[in-house]
Amino acid sequence: MKEKVQEALNKVRPFLQRDGGDVELVEVDDKGVVKVRLKGACGGCPGAAITLKQGIERVLKQELPEVTQVVSV
């Protein structure tokens, strides 16, 4: 499943990079929780929580129904 999550993250990565940020996949656990690390401008951005939930998590859940949650570590 980790490979599928990485492929889905690659679809949102250009939008993050356009604003000077990026996302790194840290772990996918057996309960469908995806752990990511926001990097660059996204790491300290006040809107990072919104980007995480309404952007990254939404796309991952659409692509992979087995994803239950996306959290930043």
DSSP 8-state symbol, 35: E
Closest CA to 72 of 31, 51, 2, 7: 51
**pLDDT at site 61:** 95
**pLDDT tens series, the chain, 73 aa:** 999 999 999 999 998 999 899 999 999 999 999 999 999 888 877 888 888 888 999 999 999 999 999 999 9
* Total count of domains within the chain: 1
**pLDDT at site 23:** 94
Residue range(s) defining the domain that contains residue 12: 2-72
| pTM across the whole model | 0.89
**pLDDT at site 50:** 86
Domain of 27, CATH number, reads 3.30.300.130
